[in-house]
Amino acid sequence: MNILVLNCGSSSVKFQLLEMTKEQVMAKGLVERIGAGQARIKYKTGTDKIVREPAEITDHTTAIDYIIRMLTASEQQVIESTDDIDAVGHRVVHGGESFAGSMLIDDEVYAKLQECIPLAPLHNPANIKGIDAVGELMPTVDQAGVFDTAFHQSMPRTSYLYALPLWVYERYGVRRYGFHGTSHRYVAARCAELEGRDPAGLKIITCHLGNGASVAAVDGGISLDTSMGFTPLEGLVMGSRCGDIDPAIPLFLQREENLSAEEVDSLLNRQSGVKGLSEGEFIDMRDIEDRYFEKDPRCTEILEIYCYRIRKYIGAYAAAMGGLDAVVFTAGVGENSPITRKLVCDPLGFLGLELDDEANDAAAPGSGFEGRVTAADSRVGVWVIPTNEELVIARDTKELVEKQRR
Q: How far apart are CA 4 and CA 18, in angstroms?
A: 6
Quick check: 118 binds ligand ADP (CB under 6 A)?
Answer: no
Site mask for ligand ADP (CB under 6 A), range 157-196, x = bound: ----------------------------------------
Show contacts with ligand ADP in window 330-349 (CB under 6 A): 331-333, 336-337
* Contact pick of 130, 199, 239, 381 for ligand ADP (by CB under 6 A): 239
Show contacts with ligand ADP in window 205-224 (CB under 6 A): 210-212
Structure-derived torsion over alpha carbons of residues 374, 380, 386, 392, reported in degrees to the nearest 10 = 160
Part of the chain binding ligand ADP (CB under 6 A), chosen from 157-165, 310-318, 329-337, 372-380: 329-337
Q: Which residue is nearest to ligand ADP (CB)?
A: 332
Count each helix (H run) and each strand (E run) in the chain, helices first: 15, 14
Show contacts with ligand ADP in window 365-394 (CB under 6 A): 365
Q: Hey, how many other C-beta atoms are within 10 angstroms of the C-beta on 368?
A: 8
- Whether 148 is catalytic: yes
CB-CB contact of 124 with 111 (8 Å):
no
Name which of 211 and 266 has its Cβ closer to ligand ADP.
Answer: 211
CB-CB contact of 178 with 216 (8 Å):
yes
Q: Which residue, among 335, 330, 334, has the nearest Cα to 366 in the 3D structure?
A: 335
Q: How far is the CB of 162 from ligand ADP (least distance, A)?
A: 25
Show contacts with ligand ADP in window 255-314 (CB under 6 A): 284-286, 289
Radius of gyration of the chain (CA): 21
Q: How far apart are CA 47 and CA 43, in angstroms?
A: 11
Name which of 132 and 284 has its Cβ closer to ligand ADP.
Answer: 284
Binding-site residue total for ligand ADP (CB under 6 A)? 14
φ/ψ of 15, rounded to 5, equals: -145, 155
DSSP string, 254-292: HHHTT--HHHHHHHHHHSSHHHHHTTTS--SHHHHHHHH
Catalytic residue, candidates 86, 107, 132, 148: 148
Catalytic residue ranges: 148
Contacting positions for ligand ADP (CB under 6 A): 210-212, 239, 284-286, 289, 331-333, 336-337, 365
